[in-house]
Structure 1
């Protein structure tokens, strides 16, 4: 990555320690005399910047330290990731946080992530060869990404239940304070979509009893298994 000189100086310049952050290929963690930061670069960083600014009115998100061109600098929140040594209450924290996110008025959200948008994005990724074929085959009984995409078109739900979704709601993308508050991170796919987009992704990553705690805290008594399976398949292409 190459950054504007003022951003390089802002995060500590040559005195800073730069390391890869495993949350994505376009993210670096920087620790230096000026503090600890996450730097993102590329189209997704631009997308995330707009979503961070909007969501800050409604929820806890990382502070934007700087934004120039396609470079986004975020402050280290200092809270624990629910993906690393998750506490026993991780499912409950995620359920409460997602319930609050989904309660944001849809009409207030300017970002569209409904099925038309997501299916178009999935089609582009399949055409460009960006989907992990081995992972898709392992998850879908040997099917190719093209075959999974065709199934998604054929089995598309008749309607959507739109809410403001995170888009990649995994334990790694939720930070928690010791009092149980949550911060949402990696928000490049935030937007209006069916609530099952978030539910499907979360339940892919939560084992029992955390999965049951998550659903109880979210307030869902009965799971639509067909929708859950559909959005899990969609997630595998995104």
Structure 2
């Protein structure tokens, strides 16, 4: 990937580039230089993240955009660890409170559509392009092919959607928290209006597997009184396999 002179000039000649990172919203590079630490994303998905970051900053804390040039997005390093790395004892409560705040954003204010027709169409595109990695499926889906997962998604599609502004990949690794408790959302390339279970399915799986059922209980208590539909949790966890 070749970057424009405008982007390269941000870092200087002493910049050290690392490609040991991969984000949902485009290939991710870490750049360290005398000018600071930056994250660089590129590709079509980085464009989607740029648009969403500009909008979301009016509602939630997000990384600062340093530059956007064609399909290259440069973000400032927030300087805080993710909840995945920090893993505080109250991680479930923190994750629940942050998601409650995001899901409270009025959907009529959000210009990004991530409802099921959009997600399913994107899943089909990824299937046809051979981009779905069946070897990475969860254990209870390990006996399914990518084609079988997609067929089940069509056959078991919920009749309605409980719409919120969803993150799209809500995991402990995508929430940074300062020492004072200020959260910052990252990797928001899939953010948009969608069923709340799109986020709930992913975060409840991550908390259960990595932090235990007590973290799940703390999350649900902090998230609020909304009833969780177990069938839709299963559906959206299956949908996540396509991405």
Q: What TM-score range do you get, normalising by the shorter chain?
A: over 0.9
1:26 aligns with 2:24: no
- The DSSP-based 3-state class of the residue aligned with 2:143 is coil
Match of 1:90 in 2: 91
Q: Which moved more, 1:220-229 or 1:198-207?
A: 220-229
- The DSSP-based 3-state class of the residue aligned with 2:89 is coil
1:124-135 residue pairs with structure 2 within 5 A?
124-135=125-136
Cα distance change on mapping 1:146 and 1:218 into 2, 3 Å: same
CA distance in 1: counterparts of 2:92 and 2:103, whole angstroms = 16
Quick check: 1:136–1:144 contact (8 Å CA) kept in 2?
no
Q: 1:232 aligns with which of 232, 237, 241?
A: 237
- The DSSP-based 3-state class of the residue aligned with 1:93 is helix
Quick check: 2:135–2:142 contact (8 Å CA) kept in 1?
no
Structure 1 residue ranges (4+ consecutive) displaced by more than 6 angstroms after TM superposition = none
TM-score w.r.t. length of structure 1: 0.96
* Cα deviations by residue, 1:188-212 (Å, 9 ceiling, x for unpaired): 0000000000000111111322221
Structure 1: 5+ residue runs without aligned partners?
A: none
CA distance in 1: counterparts of 2:190 and 2:159, whole angstroms = 23
CA distance in 2: counterparts of 1:17 and 1:135, whole angstroms = 31
Cα distance, 1:22 vs structure 2: 2.2
| RMSD value, Cα | 1.4
Match of 2:5 in 1: 5
Match of 1:179 in 2: 180
Quick check: 2:21–2:30 contact (8 Å CA) kept in 1?
no
- The DSSP-based 3-state class of the residue aligned with 2:189 is coil
- The DSSP-based 3-state class of the residue aligned with 2:84 is coil
CA distance in 2: counterparts of 1:221 and 1:188, whole angstroms = 25
Match of 1:203 in 2: 204
Structure 2: 5+ residue runs without aligned partners?
A: none
Cα distance, 1:21 vs structure 2: 4.1
TM-score w.r.t. length of structure 2: 0.94
